[in-house]
Amino acid sequence: MSGVRNAMTIDVEDYFQVSAFAPYIARSDWDQRECRVERNVDRILALLDAQGVKATFFTLGWIAERYPALVRRIVDAGHELASHGYGHERASDLSAESFRQDVVRAKQLLEDIGGRPVLGYRAPSFSIGTGNLWAFDVLQDAGYRYSSSVYPIQHDHYGMPDSPRFAYAVRDGLLEVPVTTLRMLGRNLPSSGGGYFRLLPYGLSRWMLRRVNAADGQSAVFYFHPWEIDAEQPRVAGIDAKTRFRHYVNIDRTFDRIAQLLGDFSWGRMDEIFLPAVPAVAEAS
């Protein structure tokens, strides 16, 4: 274990809300689906407590509205409550005004329920990129202090590979804290969780994070979703093979891998790791 403290983050959404399922599950059907997020987050809270780890929960307003007691359990356990927007709509699919309404609504709702200031935001599917950098202006105006919405990789659904790999001031008073990549062979390799963590051997994921800590001297940002530890979740019918593989690969192993990861590194909350020290400005236009 290195002396560098990393940020453990959880994107609080349910299995039927993932962007890849949008063509198959209508938003109007969400309330008719079996919601499993509460039991899965409670399982995560118990694991974090057993390991003595505090984390950041980027939480959907839609979830908070329906499970306010869950939000309070997150806060009461000493974790950071942050925003994942209200309805899991990609920032890149919204106009500036619709995005403003979404992030303001989510922030106010989470603060009312949690009783704490909400400083952080993560766009669904890391959907801030070169085509909607105006989103940073909206977040700044809404009172957020940091965003973790850019994934500096090349991907078919998201990514801004030429953006900085580590935390930087993207607007006055607003940091962008990208999820972690490893720089090798002239490209950024994903090394921060999600489907890649489930697909790759655990030892490789651990090596990449250690490399970022040791070679770059930087805190890593790791993320996962509650549905990724839920092997018993209902299977969505009619999805294409690529989507099925990405969503379900190795979900029966993820909980144990997360438990091992918590023991192999030092972890903390996003706000406590990144907000005390403001890095040099690297303005995005």
Whether the per-residue pLDDT at 273 is higher than 80: the answer is yes
Domain residue spans of the chain: 5-274
How far apart are the C-alpha atoms of 1 and 246, rounded to whole Å?
Answer: 30
Distance between CA atoms of residues 212 and 230, nearest Å: 29
pLDDT tops 90 at residue 41: yes
| Mean pLDDT along residues 16-43 | 95
| pLDDT above 80 for 74 | yes
Residue 168 contacts residue 280 (beta carbons within 8 Å): yes
Q: Is this prediction's pTM over 0.85?
A: yes
- When pLDDT is cut at 50, 70 and 90, the band that residue 283 belongs to is very low
d(CA 75, CA 61): 15
68, burial (CB in 10 Å: exposed 0-12, middle 13-18, buried 19+): middle
- Judge whether residue 51 has pLDDT over 50: yes
Is residue 2 pLDDT above 70, yes or no?
A: no
Q: Which of 133-137, 150-154, 198-202, 272-276 has the lowest mean pLDDT?
A: 150-154
| Mean pLDDT across the chain | 93
> C-alpha dihedral over 183, 189, 191, 196, to 10 degrees?
-170
Using CA atoms, how far apart are residues 159 and 152, in angstroms rounded to an integer?
5
Q: What pLDDT does residue 30 have?
A: 96
| pLDDT at residue 158 in the model | 62
Model pLDDT for residues 180-209, shown as the tens digit of each residue: 999 987 788 888 898 889 999 999 999 999
Strands (E), the chain: 5-12, 56-59, 80-83, 120-121, 146-147, 168-171, 174-176, 181-184, 187-190, 221-224, 266-268
pLDDT at residue number 153: 76
Radius of gyration of the chain from its Cα atoms, rounded to whole angstroms: 17
> Which CATH architecture describes the domain 5-274?
Alpha-Beta Barrel (3.20)
Contacts of 255 (CB under 8 A, 6+ apart): 43, 47, 229
Report pLDDT digits (tens) over 113-146. Answer: 999 999 999 999 999 999 999 999 999 999 999 9
Residue 284 has pLDDT above 60, yes or no: no
- pLDDT at residue 235 above 90? yes
